[in-house]
Structures are given as structure tokens and as C-alpha cells.
């Protein structure tokens, strides 16, 4: 070590300690500092933000922020499995658990926090865990293999993360919270109630206003006793009730510690000893502990700036806004979320059908956004947060912030370009709009390059949608063609990935992401790739068990209360008496709720997941097939009785509907597809509200395309007239394959056509006139899918390995006893329905 070189010791090698090392190495161009890092865990720094992905199959090495070689290549000495137990401030020495002494010039404490464990009688029993480190998770996972149920103590952010882990482990999951609502610091009563409802629909039982008085069991946990006298029997307990700053070193050495914990720091993050800094969750700044990674990163940056002599601004606190996905539910909260500012006025939007709740709080004068809450849909979070953070002027109708465009200019119309250059887009790395725009102009013109250059989006990842919007905006300004990539893991569109899968004959998600992507994938790309693989090779989607959504995983729609639906295909609505009898027998045997659908089928509701293979075995034996009611695929082709029975019918609509439905059954697409065939212009089958509709004429069939019902209905457009049956099918083949090849994920045919350059005229040119020369290729690809069709449920029933996946718990064959029903009009419904 040179005479002028200063030695920095960092105690703690979590995410914030790692970020400090990374920032100091980047800034220390003249090599004035030697860095030594101590971590008490056996691993280098890892990603605690996405720790729950460990239960989704991600390996420990994949969670590492950097391998050991990263430290070695930067001459940073990393000592893992080493606990610092003492600080001698006079000698400027730290002492590790082996008694070794280490000299420092400056000491940075990044000791973080530990799980807060309430003083409950019996907390030491076997089966009680905390949810904090990789070691905790390994122990928890091992113990869970012998359990059926788990309770999570705590209904905040950490508690709901732990609940997801318990679900991923196949456990019957309970969340116990002493407050009257979940996420009490981030959500109001209505938002929390919606979140609770969504959690319960996924099978998680929520227990509010419960205080645990004792953990019962003879050495081993058996259940929780509550102060109100009630008892909850569970096999294991995960305590996730908050954090406790790791300030024991500071206490021992006489540094100032806050009354409620945390090492006291000033606005320059210095302790009462000017040579000792504290960053992250161990620091108490103006009486506050910051439990998110973004403020810890900002602290690390400011300490680095001080050490290298760069002019710094005081640390004045941090915005604790957050956006995340909790167990399939999107949640966002920012600013004064609960409307506690005097004079603030709330604007609320609630859609119970779609499970969406939005609230924004505006100032008394209506000029400023003070905060807000989003549950079920956080797509507006980025811009709303920017309105709040940058004190942007509100639109004339502030409700447009959450209601969208209602004929005039909406808040979304202000767009990304309206943000000031100083707008902080990435809070974790403190990256501004100007920084990102300059990086794009300097040549970083795809999302991977932009992330690598600026580090934006590499922390919690919540800013990535806005980073992507900025990238596209800047590319357009530079005259570049903007390519809409699927997600951060693939720098390709859905259409390009479809071509790559075909050209390279790729059959698995892992092979695709290894060759053409990065990372492990996400909830955006995994279901899309599952659909693409099914669309291309026509293999049952259940074979891709790790990449589909819940409905595809179990080939059934999950319903309220955690049970599933069974929907056999009834092509054209035609069914024999014998098959009707079988449906009735199955419904009676398994006590299923039955209902005739608008698509001329019979829904059977209330099946347990372990019952699904048995139910389908009986239905398949009777000649039924999967109705694909769970998939982004063809649902039904509805028909009237046509010329067979109706005195007005001019064509046999039932026969044609059956032929059409049997041709396209199982066809995977960007979104669900519905069709209909009407036997005359009276239109009893409602063909003009379908993705493709066929109406009989005296000369043949009129074909309509790109309609849909639902919340935003759109009439189908007349595509071609007086077609014979063969030509009509040829056009539908080409139309559907062109849609599958070119539409974005989760885009209905109506929306696809609205965005298609040239609209219906272009579509006619491609399908009828074959303007692109694709006609034969589109027909050939459709013929392959038709000829290789197989019933997904038949494969499951006949394959013991696939069939074995249909059980509620990974470690027992017992059914899920948590499902609860109640009677209604002679049938059963979920007990929480009413």
C-alpha cells in the first residue's frame, strides 16, 4: 500500500455494501483507496430484492450480484464467513471473530438489518423460521418438505413475499396480521381489501387483527394461540414482522444509537465518529430507518462522493414509493398514499369485476399530485410517480390521471417527453431522464446496452417500463425504427421470437433464452414463449410446466376460493343425450356447480386440483375433449340451429360450425379466439361480435373478422361475401395464421386490426389477393397444426408423470382441506363468493 493510499473497510456485504464497492472502484480513477470487505455469510453479495425466486427454481449462483472473480479483478479483498465483533476507534482497528485485527482509515458500516422476532412464548420451537437470508431459505425449504401448511406472521411487504414462498413450496398458506388490513403503511382500507380478496382467491387464508400469544407444541411447532382465544393449527411458522437494524457493533463501541434502533448519522451519513460512515438499513437518519434498496444505494453514492472529494449535497431523506408484484397481484404506492396531508382530496376508481383499485390524492387547490395507490394494475405508476416527484402540473380534469382518455387529452397524453431532464427515472441508481437520453444518443440503443451503460433497472427493476419508453422516444427523435421488444430478457419482438423458434427448431424455453436472451425470464416472457412453442410445435402446453401461467399449468381456470373449472368442448353447441347424461353424472359425483355458458357449453365449477385428472378420465372415456377454456386459444364456435330446424335458415350452420371448431380447436394464439356461424341474416349466433364470424347467404357464406365483446365491444367487419365453404376455410386459415405471426402478446384480433397499418384493406390484400406471397405458407402452417392436434387432457390422463403434478401439496397426496363451499339453489358455491 502506497504512502498516500487510504484503506477503506466495509463491514457488511449485502446489496448496499456491494454497491458502495462498485461505486468507489468506478470513481477512484487514481487508485487512492484500498478496499477490504467483510461478510458474515458464506456467499458474496446476492440479490435480496428477488430472493423469492429461489423458490421458483433459481440457483444460488444466479442470485449473486457478482462472482468472487469480480472482487479479485478489482483488487477488492473479500472475506466471507467472517464476523466483525469489535471496533477500536482509537486505534482505528476492527477485530473479527477469530481475533484478527484489521486497520482502517475510514470505516463504512453496511451491516443492514435482521428479522424482527417478537417476544412470543415458544418462539424457539422447531419449525419457526425467519425470512431474511439464503441460509434461512435453504433451511425453510428443507423443513417444508415434511409439512402441509405454513403461517406467515406479518402482512406487510416482507410477509407477503414470504407467503409467495410458501405457496411456491406447495403449502396451505395463512397470513397472520395484527393490524386491521394488509400492507397498512402502503394501502388504505379499500386497496387492502381488494388485495386480501385476490390473495384469498389464490387459496391464501388471511387472518387480520390477530395477536399471537403463544406458539404451541412440545418442542416442535403445532400451532398458534391468539389473544382472542382462537387457535390456528399449522406445521411451520415464518416470521416476517419487520426488520431490526444491525447496530450491535455501534453500541459496543459507544457510537450514538437511536432510541428505536439504528446507528445515528448526520446529513453526510457520518456517525458521531467522523471516520465512520453508515449506509443502508443500519443507519438512522433524522429518526428514520430506510428499508428499501434505493435509499441505501443513494447513501452509498454520497459516501463515495465525499471520500473522493466530489462536491455533494446533503442526504435529506428519500422517497419510499414502491411498485411490485405480490403473488400475481400488482401493487403500487407513492407519496402521501393515505391522504394524510391537510386539505388533500382523494379521487378513487374501483372495478370489482377486473380487480382494480386506484386512488390519487391531490392538493386542496387541485394543482399538485400528493400521492396514490394502485392495486391490480400498475401500468400508470411510472407517470403518476413522476407527476408527484417533479411537481408537474395536473391536467384540467385530474381524474384523467387514473380514468384515462374520455374524449379529451388524458394525463397519459402528456407522455414521457413532458418530464423535465432532471426527473429521476431510476431511484436505485439515481439515474435521470437526461442521463438516459444522453446514453441513447451516444449509441446505447437497446434495453440491454442501456442498462449496462447506466445501471438503470438493475436494482429493483421497477423503472424498466419507463426506461423502455424513454429509449423508444429517443430512438424516434433520432429517426430510428423502434422495435418493441418482448421484455428485458429478450431483445426481440414476439414475431421475431416465433421466427427464431421455427428456424432454429427450438423446443424449450431454456434453449431459447440461452441462445437468444438473458437471465431467467419473467411473468411477461414465460407465458408468451409457452404459447409460441405450442403454436409452433403443437405440443401440449402442460409439458412446459415452468413457464405457463396458473391456468395452463393445471389446464383449468382457477376460481374464487382456489377450486378449478372443468369445461369440455361441445363443438357448435351440439351434444348427444348420452353425453349430457355423462356430464350430469360427473357433476353429481364430484359435487360440481353447473352452468350453461354464452358459448353453448356447460361449465362445471368447484373441482379440487387433485380431482381434475379423475374427472377428465371419465369425460374422455365418454368422448369429450378439452374445451381449452383456460388457454389463449380457440374457445368456441357458436351456432344457431340453421336450416336443419329453423324455417328461416338458408344454410346448415350447425354442421359448418362443428367443422370449423374441430379444425381450429387447441389453436394457440396471442389471445383467446371466438367464432360463430349463423344460418341466416337474423344472426342468432351473434357472429358479428366474434373474432371471426360466418353468416349464411343464399349463395354461400359472408365472412366477418376482428370483432369482440367484453368491456370494449367492437363489431366485426365484413371481409368477403358469398363464399363457398372451402374458400371460407381457406381465408380463415390465412387470417388466423397471419394474426398469430404478427400480433403482440395478449392482443385481441380487434385491437390488432386497429393497429395494423392499412387496416382491413391491407388484411384483404394479404389474405385474399396474397399480396405478400404468404398464402401457401400460412395454409401449410395451419394444416400442420390441424393434423398434429391432440387433446391436452387426454395426454395428462394417460401419462402418469404428467398426472402426478395435479396435487395441492408437493409432499402429500391428501386433498386441500382449506376449500370451503356453501349451498345455493341446490348447488355449491365458494363460501367467500357472496
Binding-site residue positions for siroheme: 684
What is the full DSSP assignment across 276-333? EEE-GGGEEETTB---SHHHHHHHHHHHHHHHTT------------EEEEETTEEEEE
Residues 675, 634 contacting (CB under 8 angstroms) = yes
Strand-pair partners of 827: 824
Strands 593-596 and 602-607: antiparallel
Residues 660, 686 contacting (CB under 8 angstroms) = no
Cell of 642: 340453421
Residue with cell 387432457: 793
Strand-pair partners of 2: none
What is the distance between the alpha carbons of residues 93 and 84, in angstroms, rounded to a whole number? 11
Residues 827, 821 contacting (CB under 8 angstroms) = no
Cell of 651: 344454410
* Residue positions forming the annotated binding site: 640, 646, 680, 684
Cell of 535: 403454436
* Residue positions forming the annotated binding site for [4Fe-4S] cluster: 640, 646, 680, 684
What is the full DSSP assignment across 427-485? TTTTEEHHHHHHHHHTT--SHHHHHHHH-TTSSS-TTHHHHHHHHHHHHHHTTPPPP--
349 sits in which H/E element: strand 345-351
Handedness of CA 177, 180, 181, 186 (dihedral sign): negative
Cell of 449: 446496452
CB neighbour list of residue 88: distance below 8 Å, 6 or more residues apart: 94, 95, 253
What is the distance between the alpha carbons of residues 310 and 295, in angstroms, rounded to a whole number? 19
Residues 183, 337 contacting (CB under 8 angstroms) = no
Residues 720, 703 contacting (CB under 8 angstroms) = yes
What is the distance between the alpha carbons of residues 775 and 785, in angstroms, rounded to a whole number? 16
Closest C-alpha to 574, from 677, 692, 701, 696: 677
Amino acid at each position: 500500500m502506497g504512502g498516500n493510499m487510504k484503506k477503506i473497510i466495509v463491514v457488511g456485504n449485502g446489496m448496499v455494501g456491494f454497491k458502495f464497492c462498485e461505486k468507489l472502484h468506478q470513481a477512484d480513477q487514481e487508485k487512492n483507496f484500498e478496499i477490504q470487505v467483510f461478510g458474515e455469510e458464506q456467499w458474496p453479495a446476492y440479490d435480496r430484492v428477488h430472493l423469492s425466486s429461489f423458490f421458483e427454481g433459481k440457483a444460488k449462483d444466479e442470485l449473486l450480484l457478482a462472482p468472487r472473480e469480480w472482487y479479485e479483478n478489482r483488487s477488492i479483498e473479500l472475506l466471507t464467513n467472517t464476523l466483525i465483533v469489535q471496533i477500536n476507534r482509537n486505534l482505528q482497528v476492527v477485530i473479527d471473530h477469530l481475533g484478527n485485527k484489521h486497520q482502517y482509515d475510514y470505516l463504512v458500516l453496511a451491516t443492514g438489518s435482521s428479522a424482527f422476532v417478537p417476544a412470543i412464548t415458544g418462539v424457539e420451537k422447531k419449525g419457526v423460521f425467519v425470512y431474511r437470508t439464503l441460509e434461512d431459505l435453504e433451511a425453510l425449504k428443507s423443513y417444508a418438505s415434511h409439512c402441509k401448511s405454513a403461517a406467515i406472521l406479518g402482512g406487510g411487504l416482507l410477509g407477503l413475499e414470504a407467503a409467495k414462498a410458501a405457496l411456491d413450496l406447495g403449502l396451505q398458506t395463512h397470513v397472520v396480521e395484527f393490524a386491521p388490513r394488509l400492507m397498512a403503511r402502503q394501502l388504505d382500507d379499500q386497496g387492502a381489501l381488494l388485495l386480501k380478496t385476490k390473495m384469498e382467491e389464490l387459496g391464501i387464508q388471511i387472518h387480520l387483527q390477530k395477536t399471537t400469544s403463544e406458539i404451541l407444541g412440545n418442542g416442535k411447532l403445532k400451532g398458534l394461540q391468539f389473544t382472542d382465544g382462537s387457535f390456528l393449527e399449522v406445521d411451520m411458522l415464518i416470521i416476517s414482522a419487520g426488520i431490526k437494524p444491525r447496530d450491535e457493533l455501534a453500541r459496543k463501541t459507544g457510537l450514538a444509537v437511536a432510541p428505536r434502533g439504528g446507528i445515528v448519522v448526520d446529513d453526510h451519513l457520518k456517525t458521531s465518529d467522523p471516520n465512520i460512515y453508515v449506509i443502508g438499513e443500519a443507519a438512522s437518519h433524522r429518526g428514520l430507518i430506510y428499508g428499501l434498496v434505493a435509499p441505501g444505494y443513494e447513501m452509498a453514492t454520497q459516501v463515495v462522493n465525499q471520500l473522493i472529494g466530489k462536491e455533494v449535497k446533503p442526504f435529506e431523506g428519500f422517497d419510499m414509493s414502491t411498485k411490485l408484484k405480490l403473488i400475481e397481484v400488482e401493487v403500487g404506492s407513492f407519496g402521501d398514499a393515505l391522504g394524510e396531508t391537510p386539505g388533500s382530496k382523494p379521487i378513487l376508481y374501483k372495478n370489482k369485476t377486473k380487480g382494480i383499485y386506484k386512488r390519487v390524492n391531490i392538493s386542496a387547490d387541485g394543482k399538485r399530485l400528493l400521492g396514490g395507490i394502485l392495486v391490480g394494475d400498475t401500468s400508470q405508476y411510472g407517470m403518476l410517480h413522476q407527476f408527484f416527484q417533479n411537481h408537474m402540473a395536473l391536467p384540467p380534469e385530474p381524474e384523467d390521471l387514473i380514468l384515462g382518455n374520455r374524449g379529451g387529452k388524458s394525463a397519459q397524453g402528456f407522455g414521457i417527453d413532458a418530464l423535465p431532464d432532471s426527473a429521476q427515472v431510476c431511484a436505485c441508481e439515481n439515474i435521470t431522464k437526461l442521463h438516459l437520453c444522453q446514453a441513447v444518443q451516444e449509441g446505447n440503443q437497446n434495453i440491454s446496452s442501456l442498462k449496462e451503460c447506466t445501471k438503470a433497472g438493475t436494482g429493483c427493476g421497477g423503472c424498466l417500463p419507463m426506461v423502455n419508453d424513454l429509449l423508444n422516444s429517443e430512438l424516434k427523435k433520432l429517426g430510428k425504427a423502434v422495435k418493441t421488444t418482448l421484455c428485458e430478457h429478450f431483445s426481440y419482438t414476439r414475431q421475431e421470437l416465433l421466427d427464431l423458434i421455427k428456424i432454429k427448431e427450438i423446443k424449450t424455453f431454456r434453449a431459447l433464452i440461452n441462445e437468444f436472451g438473458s437471465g431467467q425470464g419473467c411473468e411477461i416472457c414465460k407465458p408468451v414463449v409457452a404459447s409460441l412453442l405450442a403454436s409452433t410445435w403443437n405440443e401440449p402446453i402442460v409439458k412446459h410446466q415452468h413457464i405457463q401461467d396458473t391456468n395452463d399449468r393445471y389446464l383449468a381456470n382457477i376460481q374464487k376460493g382456489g377450486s378449478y373449472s372443468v369445461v369440455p368442448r361441445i363443438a357448435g353447441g351440439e351434444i348427444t343425450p348420452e353425453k349430457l347424461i355423462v356430464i350430469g353424472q360427473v357433476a353429481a359425483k364430484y359435487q360440481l356447480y353447473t352452468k350453461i355458458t354464452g358459448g353453448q357449453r356447460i361449465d362445471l365449477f368447484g373441482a379440487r386440483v387433485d380431482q381434475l385428472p379423475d374427472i377428465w378420465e371419465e369425460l374422455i372415456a365418454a368422448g369429450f375433449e378439452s374445451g381449452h377454456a383456460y388457454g389463449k386459444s380457440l374457445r368456441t364456435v357458436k351456432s344457431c340451429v340453421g336450416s336443419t330446424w329453423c324455417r328461416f335458415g338458408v344454410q346448415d350452420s350447425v354442421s359448418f360450425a362443428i367443422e370449423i371448431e374441430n379444425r381450429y380447436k387447441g389453436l394457440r394464439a396471442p389471445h383467446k379466439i371466438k367464432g360463430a356461424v349463423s344460418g341466416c341474416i337474423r344472426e342468432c349466433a351473434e357472429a358479428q361480435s366474434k373474432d371471426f364470424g360466418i353468416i349464411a347467404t343464399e349463395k354461400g357464406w359472408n365472412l366477418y373478422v376482428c370483432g369482440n365483446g367484453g368491456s370494449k365491444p367492437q363489431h366485426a367487419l365484413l371481409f368477403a361475401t358469398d363464399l363457398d365453404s372451402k374458400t371460407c376455410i381457406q381465408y380463415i386459415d390465412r387470417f388466423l395464421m397471419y394474426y398469430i405471426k404478427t400480433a403482440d402478446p395478449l392482443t385481441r384480433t380487434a385491437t390488432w386490426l386497429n393497429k395494423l397499418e392499412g387496416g382491413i384493406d391491407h388484411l384483404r390484400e394479404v389474405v385474399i389477393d396474397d399480396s405478400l406471397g404468404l398464402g401457401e405458407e400460412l395454409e401449410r402452417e395451419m394444416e400442420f397444426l390441424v393434423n398434429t392436434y391432440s387433446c391436452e387432457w387426454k395426454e395428462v390422463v394417460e401419462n402418469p408423470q404428467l398426472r402426478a403434478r395435479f396435487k395441492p401439496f408437493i409432499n402429500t397426496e391428501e386433498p386441500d382441506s382449506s376449500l370451503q363451499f356453501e349451498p345455493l339453489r341446490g348447488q355449491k358455491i365458494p363460501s367467500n363468493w357472496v
